[in-house]
Structure 1
Amino acid sequence: MPLRSAPPLPALLVLLFSALLAACAASPVREYTEPAKSEADDYAYRLLTLENGLQALLISDPDTRKAAASLDVMVGSGDNPPGRGGLAHFLEHMLFLGTDKYPDAAEYERYITEHGGSRNAYTSFEHTNYFFDINASYLEEGLDRFAQFFIAPRLDADYVDREKNAVQAEYQMGLKSDPRRGLDVLQAVMNPAHPYSQFSVGSLETLADRPGAPVREDLLAFYRKHYSANAMRLVVLGAEPLEELEKLVAPLFARVPNHDYEPEPMAEPLFEPASLPMKVTVQPQATLRQLQVNFQVPDYRSRYRAKPMAYLGNLIGHEGEGSLLLALKREGLAEGLSAGEGLSWRGGSLFSVTVSLTERGVAEHERVLRLLFSYLAMLREEGPQRWLYEEQSELAAIDFRFREHGEPMGYVSALAGGMHYYAPRDVLQGPYLMERFAPELIEEALDRLRPALAQVVLTAPGVPVDRESPHYEVPFGVTTAPALASRWAPTDVASLHLPAPNAFIAEDLSLVPLAADNPETPTIALDTPRTRIWFRQGKDFRTPRGALYVNFRSPLVSGDARAVAAAMLYTRLLTDAVNSFTYPARLAGLDFSLYKHARGVSLRISGYNDKQQVLLEQLLDTVQAPAFDRSRFESLRADLVRGLENAVAKRPVSQVIDDLREALLYGAYGEAALIEALRGLDLAAIEDYADAFWAGVSAEALLYGNYPQSAVAELAAALADLLPAGDVPALPPLEVLRIGAGESLQFVTDVPHDDAVVSWYLQGAGDSWRDRAATALAAQVMKSGFFQELRTEQQLGYVVSAFSWPQFDIPGLVLLVQSPSHDAGHVAGAMEEFLDEVLPSLDNSRFQRHREALVAEIEEPDKNLFERAEFYWQSIAKRQYAFDGRRQLAAAVNDFDRDEWAAYFREVFREQPRSLQVVAPGARGVIPDNIGRRVTNATAIKADHDTWSVDQY
């Protein structure tokens, strides 16, 4: 056989050159995985493991209008260096403020906002999660700016000094927040050797420069150690095919340095064994009455296919017959209960049972504890039940099988955080998997849920205290004694037992055939003097679910504070009366709500449609013949009053917005008026109110989803017994304060907090589509610059926002700042100066970008059946029966060019503003001057004004 001759020299050179090119273009991807996905999920997925260890999940949705991305770093406040409380949180703030490639601190915020997006981040004990969304065609540029956070951030010294003030403002904002105060106490009584005992938020004190240790150097060291590619998980959702997303993502994030960081295990227990059992008493800011029982259990996150704690949380938190909560309610001790894992760490987890107590429950909290431990003893005696586990497993599997799409930014953020705990193939299905019944794990966990191992926190006014927490100065007390366990020992309670099999689990998950004449939007399928039913089968979202909404309209839900209070209390009583059977329905994927709204009472049932009719009939049977218990009435009324009293513990900005809403809306009442009305209502008055309500009610309903046409007649028959005959009483119009052109009002409100708050409301000139569009454009144009100037540059406070705020479609614009560092006069002056610069800083190209971004937001398609149902329901309420409100608003926005909009802005918001400024002066006590007429309550504002009369809802 002859030997082959060598190839000619040019061919060798070609081969060598090709090999070099291949080496230069080597893929940065080490491994590919295709995650298991739901059969209803039409997204395409690909998981990449890059050579630097970073895992990136790519999601392709060709129809999306919004792209989104999230990167989660396995580092959090539990990793703060000793003595540097809040450093991880501070670093999260700093990464937004400039990178080597994009050094302008405003660049990222401005680019995202001008292209229809939003951005944020959070720091937890174990994670720091960054996320944004943007109009889909701008993903590449947005992602490049985002990636630089993790490639080359500047951590500019000037902004290090400034942004410490934002962290301080966030810390001060939480000084009256009971959740943050409770965490401060929990950290104070933890094992000091556990990393979670460190201060999480940070302050000027903990982030101060120190001799030989400037905080910027600590930031850089922290970043270099922890922000390693192998500790990062990335999720990117875009309209591009997977191949194009990979070409965009892989080379970009392959540049993230890998320091081979491995989080250290946290071997120390959260509570030192000798300190248990422990009882902590905490005095809250609000009239909070709560009992929390915490237990240290193993970290079961790697056993996600078994989920032993999900099994236990489901049973302990159950609310049906035989449950712990029902026993507590029957004894008048509690109003609510939840159970599940809270804090987790590398080595353990905290399983918590939280009980919302009545006044009697506070006084008899040790009886509550004995009942809890009796329930746990019953679970140990019964042992793990395979049928209960399989029931939970079936429900989880159904939910995953028919998982619907949601808002992209929230989806990618949740996935990025979860990727740390699931195998690559399981990153989508991991949260739903319950396929390995492991009784030994359940028994192991149950064995930790004993009185001798409990840490109990009783939070209520007047409890005994003898010390203060270090950062929030919370009064609390601690008792550690073995004798506590015997006082909480189980007792024999016959009413406690395992739940019955869930009768609401959907059995028929088939899809109803679509009718040939199924309309493009809902149409009126039944119209009588008392009942109108809109109907449409779900065409775009083919799942075995449906939305059944009924609005019971009555003139008796508004008019005065007594009517409003009666409607609130009546719906609360009805919801409580049906809870024992609606809770299993909720577990089975049937959501239910009953609530008061502006024109009546709304009933909503949504979820798998198979058992909806069964649930509706049981609900309406209770509505027709309720048997309200007097003790439950007293407890629920007290709970409503307590909730209103607790308004003083809400964030100051929330209180000010509540006051602004009360000033604008006729029929809206403040807490004091509602509390007085509630205290004047007894059970007989509520029963009389219910009779009068149903005597004059009419119903409008929507059926949308997997329903046959026959569902209309079934719903009509179910409603018939509730609705009276005769003429329908007229409903009074809804009214919104009408502020005159050039009129300026100032409402000074009392908010018990040191921070100053200014909420400046500017009303549009009218209620036409043009007015709505111009006002929405103003918010879009302003929001990024307002945040950047007043928060980042001027450091006026942590809460800085400009947004559109229509009330019953009367357009309005709100500028909002909460400042711990400046008085209200200074804040109002900064707002004025900013408004003066809006037009000079807005060229035509920026205006066009903002206009495009707003139109994209308005026209963003619904992601699932329930978003579409909500759009239909709101359109019906607003009498927009063509269901074209989005199209009309988008068209009105597009009709503006820069000069026309500038003329509207100048006239309506600057030269002749319709202005209402709500001010909480805070500790500095300064009230902005030269504002106009000053009032001190909402009633005075509404007493002498014209109104916008709105015929909707």
Structure 2
Amino acid sequence: MSASHALEVPMPAPAYPHPATLTLANGLRVTLHAAPHLKRCAAVVRVAAGSHDAPLAWPGLAHFLEHLLFLGTERFPTGEGLMTYVQQHGGQVNASTRERTTEFFFELPVSNVAQGLERLADMLARPRLALDDQLREREVLQAEFVAWSQDAKAQQQVALLEGVANGHPLRDFHAGNRDSLPVETEAFQQGLRTFHAQFYQSGQMTLSLAGPQPLDQLQALAHRFGEIIIPGSGHPQVAPPALMQSQPQAYRHVAGQHLHHVIACNAPREALEFLCTWLNNPAPGGLLAELQAQGLGTALHASVLYHFAGQALLDIDVTLSQPGEPAAQVEALLHDWLGFFAHSDWTSLREEFTRLTARQRQVQGALALARNDREALSDQDITALHTLLDSLHLPCARHLWQLPPHNPFLRPPVKDQRAGLIRGQTSAHRGLRTFAQDRSRGRRDAAALTFSQALPIDSQEGALYLNWRFDSRAPSGLEGALHELSENARQAGLELTVETIGHDWRVSLVGLHALMPTVLEALAQNLTQAQETPDTTPPLLAIRTLLKALPTCCAETTAADANNTLSWNTARWHGLGVGLPPACEALIKTAAARLPGQPTSIERHTRDLKGQRVWHEVNTDASEAALLLFCPTPSPSLADEAAWRLLAHRVQGPFYQRLRVEQQIGYAVFSGIRQISGQTGLLFGVQSPHLSLDEIVQHLHSFLAQLPGLIEGDTDLGNAALAQQFAVDTLPTAQAAQLIWHAHLAGHPSDYLALLQQHIRDCTPPDLQHAAQQLNHAVGGWHCVANGPHTTNAWPLKN
């Protein structure tokens, strides 16, 4: 970032209120995060029991129970339970089983959180555990097991843990499958209920709530939740055997282009997180920069793999430039850096780390804040880290390393007395830039960069979207060149993401708007020097790979574009700012003047399939069949969008119930509205371990054919609940800004959200039936994105 163009803008306060903690009379521990800036409320229940706590006879029992708890209770059957309720009100819900903990979490509008908590408490305390549910859900775990056993990343993780001592549960099988879960036997049923009784009680749980409500209201919600949970005194978790024969101890694991250096130790998690922060820093003078300079590695990621009862595994994962790179040379550099770090003064790094963690708490959404259980870094943590590094007997550093510089976005910028000068000018040259130059550039910028007033500007958050249009292909390998910038921005509270869609290259900045002018100026400087680099992202799950490819599949591109080189000379760009105060808008305009390419308004052309059904084949390097079906609305009108959103709202639950729960065709089964470059459509996704693509297509076709009958006779379409999801005062800024950006691309008016709400409220049962018929007849066309060819004529798709 150029210091000569520092932009002065009010920065948010670095401090953030610490959460309140209490223990209820029944032993339930509670953490409360009262954050007035939040738009929604989130709840997280952490149960002190995980896969390593399950009986040895039945691996996977803990994960199996987590699945079963979502299948309804006597009070709230499946169609009225937590998952359905959260989906109906536009929230998010999920669960996760780890080695020694299981988490259940959701996020909802404030007005719905009490109902969500009631359902969550009831499902944790009073699950049905019906045998027919268990038999069906075991098949879901079997499908997940098959996918897990074929997933390269998962198997690499298994191989990575082979360096742990025999007898430690990290070496054991915990996935759960048809063979390890004999639900038909009485012994297993007794074991399942015993596990639930031991661990799913108040003494074994922690509830974390985060929301805009005052503390007393959050506390009242916690008490209502605690009244439903079964009281208990807690059940001690058995401590595992030693990770390795002696500690600390390290071992090496090489798999393909990845070199893992794993350290087994007893350091506190906060100390290891502190070390990982500086290991992962990509700034010049650090380990990653040196690996890249010597051509040994392209990426580095240090993380805590495991932490429980004083045991920890630290994994330092280096992506090698080429398979077979000398591991000893890479590890020598690692040890040299660790030796340098061990003997450095950490005072400034501790201050920086404190700023970083405070800023993250300040900008996190409700769910992320509720899940944040990080403690403050203490003197004891620092002492433990010194002890760990000393015990590794590291060599004296030979290389001229540098500690990472301070993140420039975590502090207010220094006021620049020479602001406004052209680079290279002194104050004696002020005014030499002609009015004609300013007016000329200003007219083009005004056409290219617009600002929406659709969101209030009384919060600290906003969004800025920039879109470049290239005559040929858009760049697809600039993530590496922007890595340091995007990481610094993320740490400071501004998410910088990039996306390539055909001829378009898109950058979004979402978060603290006070940072945007400075980050935008740094982005302009980076782009003028950036070079495309190969993608080193690890392989994704097949369905995720298809989701990443979907926008490009829907764009109009040609195969010949792939050989063209990156050039900014003829690129044109435009952008939209959302939720930004006038002072920030002015600074953004100044910074945007330095962006490469030509600022100009770009006419949007939505691809019209004219009713065609188009098949796109994407290589995912996976044996399982995975498929996405994206069905655009027949027209860009708000009436069509509202009807299709309501149809998606009505269909989401039955689609999941039919294909995943009843027919069990796969474990990745979902549907919902998706917007791609302003085009709205209904998206269906399936990944199956045992069906072919053609069989998945047949299931989708059958479900769509039954849609008119499924919604026939509906009197309550859910209009009010869906319309409320688009209320500006309850939408998180990131979601609201994304909607406004797509509305801008589609050419909708500035009051898009209010108009959409009204159209949704006005939808009638005939409107919904009409939308279902249009969907079945592919009036807006269909994009089918799959990881294989279409081999039969059962569905008339075109390649």
> TM-score normalised to the size of structure 2?
0.82
AA partner of residue 318 (structure 2): V
Structure 1 counterpart SS, 2:400: coil
Structure 1 residue 409: Cα displacement: 4.1
AA partner of residue 354 (structure 2): S
What does 1:98-109 align with in structure 2 at a 5 Å threshold? 98-103=72-77, 107-109=81-83
User: For residues 700 and 140 of structure 1, do their structure 2 counterparts lie closer, same or farther at Cα, with a shift above 3 Å needed?
Assistant: closer
User: For residues 207 and 308 of structure 1, do their structure 2 counterparts lie closer, same or farther at Cα, with a shift above 3 Å needed?
Assistant: same
User: For residues 805 and 618 of structure 1, do their structure 2 counterparts lie closer, same or farther at Cα, with a shift above 3 Å needed?
Assistant: closer
Structure 2 counterpart SS, 1:130: strand
Q: Could you tell me how far apart the structure 1 residues matched to 2:576 and 2:377 are? A: 37
Asked if 1:174 corresponds to 2:148, the answer is yes
User: Match of 2:302?
Assistant: 339
AA partner of residue 781 (structure 1): R
User: For residues 343 and 755 of structure 1, do their structure 2 counterparts lie closer, same or farther at Cα, with a shift above 3 Å needed?
Assistant: same
Structure 2 counterpart SS, 1:528: helix
The CA deviation string for residues 294-324 of structure 1, in whole angstroms up to 9 with x for no partner, is 11221414xxxxx433332233222223211
Structure 1 residue 168: Cα displacement: 1.1
Asked if 1:377 corresponds to 2:332, the answer is no
AA partner of residue 694 (structure 1): N
Q: Could you tell me how far apart the structure 2 residues matched to 1:891 and 1:269 are? A: 62
What does 1:98-247 align with in structure 2 at a 5 Å threshold? 98-103=72-77, 107-134=81-108, 136-209=110-183, 214-236=187-209
Q: Could you tell me how far apart the structure 1 residues matched to 2:38 and 2:592 are? A: 39
What does 1:605-644 align with in structure 2 at a 5 Å threshold? 620-621=524-525, 623-624=527-528, 626=529, 637=533, 639-640=534-535
Structure 2 counterpart SS, 1:805: strand
Q: Could you tell me how far apart the structure 1 residues matched to 2:492 and 2:105 are? A: 32
Asked if 1:852 corresponds to 2:720, the answer is yes
Structure 1 residue 503: Cα displacement: 5.2
Structure 1, 78-87 or 45-54: larger mean CA deviation: 45-54
Q: Could you tell me how far apart the structure 1 residues matched to 2:250 and 2:34 are? A: 52
Q: Could you tell me how far apart the structure 2 residues matched to 1:50 and 1:79 are? A: 25
AA partner of residue 569 (structure 2): W
Structure 2 counterpart SS, 1:175: helix
On the 8 A contact 2:252/2:262 being kept in 1, the answer is no
AA partner of residue 908 (structure 1): Q
User: Match of 1:665?
Assistant: 555
Structure 1 residue 494: Cα displacement: 3.0
On the 8 A contact 1:555/1:732 being kept in 2, the answer is no
User: Match of 2:656?
Assistant: 787
* Structure 2 counterpart of 1:404, from 363, 367, 373: 363
Q: Could you tell me how far apart the structure 2 residues matched to 1:118 and 1:589 are? A: 22
User: Match of 1:295?
Assistant: 263
* Structure 2 counterpart of 1:719, from 570, 576, 593: 593
User: Unpaired segments of 5 or more residues in structure 2?
Assistant: 1-12, 416-438
Larger radius of gyration, structure 1 or 2? 1
Q: Could you tell me how far apart the structure 1 residues matched to 2:408 and 2:777 are? A: 64
User: For residues 207 and 390 of structure 1, do their structure 2 counterparts lie closer, same or farther at Cα, with a shift above 3 Å needed?
Assistant: same
On the 8 A contact 2:712/2:769 being kept in 1, the answer is no
User: For residues 495 and 608 of structure 1, do their structure 2 counterparts lie closer, same or farther at Cα, with a shift above 3 Å needed?
Assistant: farther
Structure 1 residue 525: Cα displacement: 14
Asked if 1:445 corresponds to 2:320, the answer is no
What does 1:291-690 align with in structure 2 at a 5 Å threshold? 291-301=259-269, 307-359=270-322, 362-382=324-344, 384-400=345-361, 403-404=362-363, 406=365, 408-412=366-370, 414-415=371-372, 418=373, 430-431=374-375, 433-434=376-377, 436=379, 439-449=382-392, 493-500=398-405, 504-507=409-412, 527-529=442-444, 532-534=448-450, 540-543=457-460, 550-551=466-467, 553-556=468-471, 558=472, 563-564=473-474, 567-569=475-477, 571-572=478-479, 574-575=481-482, 579=484, 596=500, 600-602=504-506, 620-621=524-525, 623-624=527-528, 626=529, 637=533, 639-640=534-535, 649-657=539-547, 661-667=551-557, 677=562, 686=565, 689-690=566-567
Structure 1 residue 216: Cα displacement: 2.7
Structure 1, 312-321 or 221-230: larger mean CA deviation: 312-321
AA partner of residue 330 (structure 1): A
AA partner of residue 757 (structure 2): A
Structure 1 residue 797: Cα displacement: 1.5
Asked if 1:887 corresponds to 2:754, the answer is yes
On the 8 A contact 2:143/2:688 being kept in 1, the answer is yes
Asked if 1:738 corresponds to 2:616, the answer is no
AA partner of residue 634 (structure 2): A
On the 8 A contact 2:300/2:318 being kept in 1, the answer is yes
AA partner of residue 391 (structure 1): E
What does 1:2-13 align with in structure 2 at a 5 Å threshold? none
On the 8 A contact 1:660/1:918 being kept in 2, the answer is no
Structure 1 residue 93: Cα displacement: 0.4
User: For residues 818 and 450 of structure 1, do their structure 2 counterparts lie closer, same or farther at Cα, with a shift above 3 Å needed?
Assistant: farther
Q: Could you tell me how far apart the structure 2 residues matched to 1:747 and 1:546 are? A: 35
Structure 1, 794-803 or 85-94: larger mean CA deviation: 794-803
Structure 1 residue 813: Cα displacement: 1.9
Structure 1 residue 908: Cα displacement: 0.8
AA partner of residue 386 (structure 2): E
User: Match of 1:272?
Assistant: 245
Structure 1 counterpart SS, 2:404: coil
Structure 2 counterpart SS, 1:497: coil
* Structure 2 counterpart of 1:773, from 642, 646, 659: 642
Q: Could you tell me how far apart the structure 1 residues matched to 2:595 and 2:76 are? A: 66
* Structure 1 counterpart of 2:49, from 61, 75, 82: 75
Structure 1, 796-805 or 750-759: larger mean CA deviation: 750-759
Structure 2 counterpart SS, 1:311: helix
Structure 1 residue 826: Cα displacement: 4.7
Q: Could you tell me how far apart the structure 2 residues matched to 1:156 and 1:368 are? A: 54
Structure 1 residue 181: Cα displacement: 1.4
AA partner of residue 385 (structure 2): I
User: For residues 105 and 199 of structure 1, do their structure 2 counterparts lie closer, same or farther at Cα, with a shift above 3 Å needed?
Assistant: farther
On the 8 A contact 1:77/1:89 being kept in 2, the answer is yes
Asked if 1:930 corresponds to 2:794, the answer is yes
Q: Could you tell me how far apart the structure 2 residues matched to 1:771 and 1:297 are? A: 59
AA partner of residue 363 (structure 2): E
Structure 1 residue 123: Cα displacement: 0.8
Q: Could you tell me how far apart the structure 2 residues matched to 1:699 and 1:183 are? A: 43
On the 8 A contact 1:116/1:852 being kept in 2, the answer is no
The CA deviation string for residues 645-702 of structure 1, in whole angstroms up to 9 with x for no partner, is x7xx532323455666555321276xxx78xx4xx57xxxx5xx43xx2355455464
- What RMSD, in angstroms, separates the aligned Cα atoms of the two structures? 4.2
On the 8 A contact 1:371/1:491 being kept in 2, the answer is no
The CA deviation string for residues 439-496 of structure 1, in whole angstroms up to 9 with x for no partner, is 5323112134458xxxxxxxxxxxxxxxxxxxxxxxxxxxxxxxxxxxxxx5864332
User: Match of 1:468?
Assistant: none
On the 8 A contact 1:65/1:860 being kept in 2, the answer is no
The CA deviation string for residues 730-769 of structure 1, in whole angstroms up to 9 with x for no partner, is 96754424142xx656667776544334444434222211
On the 8 A contact 2:574/2:602 being kept in 1, the answer is no
User: For residues 138 and 733 of structure 1, do their structure 2 counterparts lie closer, same or farther at Cα, with a shift above 3 Å needed?
Assistant: closer
AA partner of residue 607 (structure 2): V
The CA deviation string for residues 215-251 of structure 1, in whole angstroms up to 9 with x for no partner, is 3332112112222211111234678776666556525
User: Match of 2:420?
Assistant: none
Q: Could you tell me how far apart the structure 2 residues matched to 1:665 and 1:410 are? A: 33
Q: Could you tell me how far apart the structure 2 residues matched to 1:846 and 1:46 are? A: 45
User: For residues 265 and 535 of structure 1, do their structure 2 counterparts lie closer, same or farther at Cα, with a shift above 3 Å needed?
Assistant: same
AA partner of residue 76 (structure 1): G
AA partner of residue 668 (structure 2): V
- Identity among equivalent positions (%) equals 22
> TM-score normalised to the size of structure 1?
0.70
The CA deviation string for residues 30-73 of structure 1, in whole angstroms up to 9 with x for no partner, is xxxxxxxx99879x986552222112345678998755433221
Structure 1 residue 335: Cα displacement: 1.4
AA partner of residue 223 (structure 1): H
AA partner of residue 286 (structure 2): S
On the 8 A contact 1:50/1:250 being kept in 2, the answer is yes
